[in-house]
Amino acid sequence: MTLIAKVRRNGFDTGIAAEYFVLSQLYRQGIEAYISQGNKKSIDIRLIRLDGTAASVDVKAVRGYSSVVVNNVRPGSSHYIVIVIYNDKFEDVSTIPEVFIVPSTELAAITSHWKDEKRVMKGKLAPFKDQWQTLLASA
């Protein structure tokens, strides 16, 4: 018998899936990391880098892609935004999402304003694609 789960389309599920995906990637690279619990938090993951310094991560995720909302991001020297884009393949677990690691201090330079929201367009993210080494050690 084949079981097919009905997938709920909501942002909470997308965000949780992305946070645990990022956590997994960090552990695979030898980074000690801890996920924050709760729905209303500004830091999703705290980590200890290979050199022993601490950093924080805010994970932003989208199932499709036109832009990513970054309204609540607060810049800091050891704070990073990890953007996870599922490219309309969220339900396909064999597809790896695109990942962009952006130092929060560089976010303002790639942010656009649309109505009352701050957004990052995919075209501005290219230099940050798969830049996991940014998280590995302090500068």
pLDDT in tens, 102-134: 999 999 999 999 889 999 998 999 999 999 999
Torsion sign (Cα): 124, 10, 40, 78: negative
Q: Where are the domains of the chain?
A: 11-136
The torsion of the CA quartet 19, 23, 28, 33, rounded to 10 degrees, works out to 160
Where residue 139 falls among pLDDT bands split at 50, 70, 90?
Answer: low
Cα gap 93→54, rounded to integer Å = 31
- Determine if the pTM surpasses 0.95: no
Matching CATH number, 11-136, of 3.30.70.360, 3.40.1350.10, 2.170.190.11, 3.40.50.2300 = 3.40.1350.10
